[in-house]
Structure 1
């Protein structure tokens, strides 16, 4: 039963990543592209967690946590750069 759930989860997250790539390239504005990148990080975290569940390793969950922190900082820095043109004041 868990194998079916994992397969469905991988399929859904793969589809979500494809749709995020479409929004990243066809987004009408910079804000849409920033949101697409942030959502791609969230989907990548979901895929890493699913890999951890499928493989039964706890190291994947730590990798997902690190990616979440780096993704948050990257999104904030990119948004600040788009607003002010400068990251460090």
Structure 2
């Protein structure tokens, strides 16, 4: 079981690195928005995996809070773009 969790952590770390690279390099705003939405999703999965690994249920609450904050950030960013925010695509 621990080997599966270690592999999951490794793959999620690689995914976070690639997502962060896409966030920095772009090339367009939609690419950056997708990367910005993927980061908290991967972090929520990582927190959930850690909760399973440590068998501490309170980490699930942390994952839910991070997911809710990411959702609210996505709504705010979509409203910003809808009202004519800067675009480069």
TM-score, scaled relative to structure 2: 0.89
SS in 2 for 1:69: helix
Query: Retained in 2: the 8 A contact 1:34–1:79?
Result: no
| Distance in 2 separating the partners of 1:83 and 1:25 | 22
TM-score, scaled relative to structure 1: 0.89
Segments ≥4 residues shifted beyond 2 Å: none
Count of aligned pairs: 85
Correspondence for 1:28: 27
Query: Retained in 2: the 8 A contact 1:48–1:64?
Result: yes
Correspondence for 1:53: 52
Structure 1 residues not aligned, in runs of 5+: none
Deviation at 1:82, TM superposition (A): 2.0
Deviation at 1:79, TM superposition (A): 2.0
Structure 2 residues not aligned, in runs of 5+: none
Deviation at 1:85, TM superposition (A): 4.1
What is the CA RMSD across the aligned residues, in angstroms? 1.2
Correspondence for 2:4: 5
